[in-house]
Amino acid sequence: MLAGKRILLIVGGGIAAFKSLDLIRRLRERGATVTPVLTKASEEFVTPLSTSALAGQKVYRDLFDLTDEAEMGHIELSRAANLVVVAPATADLMAKMTAGLANDLASTLLMATDKRVLIAPAMNVRMWEHPATQRNLATLQGDGILTVGPDVGDMACGEHGPGRMSEPLAIVDAVEAALADGPLKGKHVLVTSGPTHEPIDPVRYIANRSSGAQGTAIARSLAALGADVTFITGPADVSPPSGVKVVKVQTAREMKDAVDAALPADAAVFAAAVADWRVENASGSKMKKDGSGKAPALEFAENPDILAGVSQLKKGRPKLVVGFAAETDDVEANATAKRKRKGCDWIVANDVSPETGIMGGSENAVSVISDQGTEVWPRLSKDQVAAKLAKRIAGALA
Ligand code: CTP
């Protein structure tokens, strides 16, 4: 529920703007107050009259509207909300946000706000996949901007692919996650997830079978309990959850840097399947067969152990550090030893033998090992494991 919450909704100029009218309706159904802001371009798609009628509120349009400035300055407008939502977030608006431009009301509000910002990108598939947009997305996510979507599907321009704005109800879910009032409100939790890719040369890499499903579910459950989540993910199969700060990395060393940059945190959950080794003699150009029939010799170097590093921090250690132990034999004994060796508070142990179907599957059977002993959980969906773990974390941080 969003009762009593105030949303500043910036509508960008794209065909998906018509869905923003439904979004206003859905947000209000849940009790939110919606203050709409239209850009010049969005007025080509929706009218100020229909927007204001649905919002039951005045629509803000122009930075230099002196009446508005007299009533409520743009600084105040940007801060009176609990959350700023940009839907649709066009390529142009994303670029403005990345560059820090403030040349109209929407971009000025986005620069002036001290509240969290959630964007729902929508654009043509080629514009979405353009390196400039992907660069901007990574920068915005790194700045803590929350994202929802885009979805994959047919687009108004006749093409198919990622770029459709998320459906209004999915955006409402992301708004609720971003504003969740739960036992973890005010707590910063970092979560690592997914595999890492360790390059051999520019086209080949060493990876593992982690899909990122469990780490993603954990981040989503923590956010649903109100936590401020930094989600550091390797190249996973599943999309990151909405309502969290996403940092995308490729290698173990990049993951370590991202974790260091995200600290301090109240709790840290290390669900990533980090490669233990990287190729030390990785080639800067594609390795070629030389005709001799001899395979190239790869030399390996050990990657930093991110979990152990954080667990053993003398200063600034999170209050609760949770590791995972992916084992194929003697699961409990190995995981218990791993907890001691790494110095974390809890280890979530799972059997990743191929016959369990856990790695890459939708279920998980885990034991949680702490200084209180071992708790064996039944086989549950990864979402259920995540919800149970998030609740346990909330209990430990209370
Ligand atoms: N981990 C990490 N950094 C690494 C390796 C592992 O942070 N370089 C974390 C994982 O995210 C997980 C835990 O350590 O939380 C255990 O990972 P696992 O692969 O089970 O253990 P390893 O340390 O790789 O030990 P081993 O290979 O001996 O089982």
> Which CATH number fits the domain 188-283+293-397, given the four candidates 3.40.50.300, 3.40.50.620, 3.20.20.70, 3.40.50.10300?
3.40.50.10300
DSSP string across 80-112? SSSEEEEEEE-HHHHHHHHHT---SHHHHHHHH
The model's pLDDT over 106-148, given as tens digits with 9 standing for 90+, comes to 999 999 998 999 999 999 999 999 999 999 999 998 888 999 9
Per-residue confidence band for 57, with pLDDT thresholds at 50, 70 and 90: very high
Give SS3 for 280: coil
Does residue 171 line the site of ligand 1, with CB under 6 A? no
Tell me whether the CATH fold assigned to 6-178 matches the one assigned to 188-283+293-397.
yes
Distance between Cα 192 and ligand 1 center (Å)? 12
The model's pLDDT over 192-225, given as tens digits with 9 standing for 90+, comes to 999 999 999 999 999 998 999 999 999 999 998 9
What's the mean pLDDT in 11-40?
Answer: 96
Q: Write down the pLDDT at residue 326.
A: 87
**How far is residue 11's CA from residue 83's CA, in Å, rounded to a whole number?**
14
What's the mean pLDDT in 311-334?
Answer: 94
Count Cβ atoms below 10 Å from residue 233 Cβ, excluding itself: 28
**Catalytic residue selected from 53, 99, 156, 157:** 157
Q: Is 237 annotated as a binding residue?
A: no
The model's pLDDT over 240-266, given as tens digits with 9 standing for 90+, comes to 888 888 999 999 999 999 999 999 999
- Enter the tokens of residue 201: 């040369």
The dihedral sign for the CA sequence 370, 375, 380, 386:
negative
Q: Write down the pLDDT at residue 142.
A: 82
Is 157 catalytic? The answer is yes
Q: Which homologous superfamily is 6-178 in?
A: Flavin prenyltransferase-like (3.40.50.1950)
Does residue 326 line the site of ligand 1, with CB under 6 A? yes
**What is the residue extent of each domain of the chain?**
6-178, 188-283+293-397
Q: Is 338 annotated as a binding residue?
A: yes
Distance between Cα 304 and ligand 1 center (Å)? 10
Distance between Cα 35 and ligand 1 center (Å)? 47
The model's pLDDT over 152-205, given as tens digits with 9 standing for 90+, comes to 988 777 888 899 999 999 999 999 988 888 899 999 999 999 999 999 999 999
The mean predicted confidence, pLDDT, of the chain is 93
How many residues belong to the chain? 398
Does residue 307 line the site of ligand 1, with CB under 6 A? yes
Q: Write down the pLDDT at residue 66.
A: 52
**How far is residue 273's CA from residue 192's CA, in Å, rounded to a whole number?**
9
